[in-house]
Structure 1
Amino acid sequence: MAVSRLAHRVLDGDIVLPEYRRGFVWSVQQALHLLDPVHRNYPIGGLSLWQSTERLAGESKVANLDVQPTREGYPVDCIIDGRQRLAGIIGALHGGSGRWNTGYDLEADVFLELAEEQPPAHIVPMKSISSPDLLFSQVAALRADQETGTGTRRRSRPHARTAVRPGPSSDLDSLYGTQTFTPKSCAMPTRPDA
């Protein structure tokens, strides 16, 4: 699934970022460094999601953007691993205000924080891009043309996703055996051997 599609699913309330004891701790620079392998279509690790129809307590804002509330009885995916990465990607690609004013430098081929509202023409503010994936594919095609002269593109690599079945949120501690991961509410699957 495309990274920007995952981001939109979070903002639409289809993927819930549970409220953990530890909030979002990544800096903007860490999120921007993560975008380099994303736009080059390199794997960045997987996400672990639990599907549930329970009403889940999740973040109401991610990177200064409003998140739609989950709909009663509607299945949602609760993210249990990859929360920092996904929240950082949302901020870097869609935040657009405050600390999340980011852009892509077409000349230097890097993502950066923007200090000004009107950057030079070779810097694309990410808040002005409706489809970051389209930008990434266009940049990849341009890069391939420049590097090889043939216009060949790198093969798309799938991103890992762990799918699980629904279950009660009380199984979380038994699955992880630790108190470091404690959402306020998140449905977890029932283990077959339990």
Structure 2
Amino acid sequence: MALEQLKVREIVKQAVSKSVDVPEFQREFVWDPGQVKLLAESLYRDYPVGSLLLWDSSGHQEAKTAQGTQASLWIVDGQQRTTALCLLLGMKPFWWPDAQEWNRALERYNVMVNILPGRGGDQLEFALPNPIRHRDPRWVEIRRILSTEKVEDLILLTQEVVSQIGDPDTMMTAFA
């Protein structure tokens, strides 16, 4: 049995690219939005989030989603976390059958982060959306942050947020 450490993006990439699948005996995704938010916060704070248990299923029964080419690695433990990671990054795992349902799930599991916490607070604040947060430029959908691949894109996002706030002190705080 091999132990391998993967980055979140690598796990999501495997879920999207059919490198891993969900066996027939796994339940559907049942986490509520609060659990997805807590997973995001745990990752940010570098808390342990558990491990994934993958089973090399070559030569066994078909997976739940057997669509032509099938992955030989099945997620035996960690399907809820893997799907939640896909939601956080906005990338549909191939075992999620319906695109419209996925789009509704993206709305329902939309985690936001306050990228400019109050003075003295060095920790980001995570929350689920509400009308007030949607209007407050400090609250950004975590997908917008996680979908950036370059530091320059994060700087541009921060500049955009700071310009919407219009407070020069905020600019100093954001880039301190």
TM norm structure 2: 0.56
Cα deviations across residues 35-82 of structure 1 (Å, max 9, x unaligned)?
A: 21212233211111012345842359xxxxxxxx5625xx53211011
Cα deviations across residues 82-112 of structure 1 (Å, max 9, x unaligned)?
A: 1122222222332673312222221341332
What amino acid sits opposite 2:129 in the alignment?
L
More helix by share: 2
CA distance in 2 between partners of 1:124 and 1:70 (Å)? 38
Q: Percent identity?
A: 24
What amino acid sits opposite 2:116 in the alignment?
E
Give the C-alpha shift of residue 19 in structure 1. Answer: 3.9
Residue 125 of structure 2: aligned partner: 110
TM norm structure 1: 0.52
CA distance in 2 between partners of 1:86 and 1:132 (Å)? 20
Q: Alignment partner of 2:127: what SS? A: strand
**What is the aligned counterpart of 1:57 among 54, 63, 69?**
63
Compared CA separation, residues 118 and 81, structure 1 to 2 (3 A): same
Instruction: Verify the 8 A CA contact 1:103 1:111 in the aligned structure 2.
Output: yes
Higher relative contact order (CA 8 A, sep 6+): 1
Compared CA separation, residues 121 and 27, structure 1 to 2 (3 A): same
Cα deviations across residues 115-171 of structure 1 (Å, max 9, x unaligned)?
A: 359553322213324547978xx8xxxxxxxxxxxxxxxxxxxxxxxxxxxxxxxxx
What amino acid sits opposite 1:110 in the alignment?
E
CA distance in 2 between partners of 1:82 and 1:88 (Å)? 10
CA distance in 1 between partners of 2:135 and 2:23 (Å)? 35
CA distance in 2 between partners of 1:13 and 1:58 (Å)? 12
Residue 14 of structure 1: aligned partner: 19
CA distance in 2 between partners of 1:113 and 1:79 (Å)? 28
Residue 41 of structure 1: aligned partner: 46
The answer for unaligned runs of 5 or more in structure 2 is 1-5, 92-102, 118-123, 155-176
Q: Alignment partner of 1:128: what SS? A: helix
CA distance in 1 between partners of 2:68 and 2:127 (Å)? 32
CA distance in 1 between partners of 2:150 and 2:72 (Å)? 26
Residue 175 of structure 1: aligned partner: none
CA distance in 2 between partners of 1:4 and 1:119 (Å)? 29
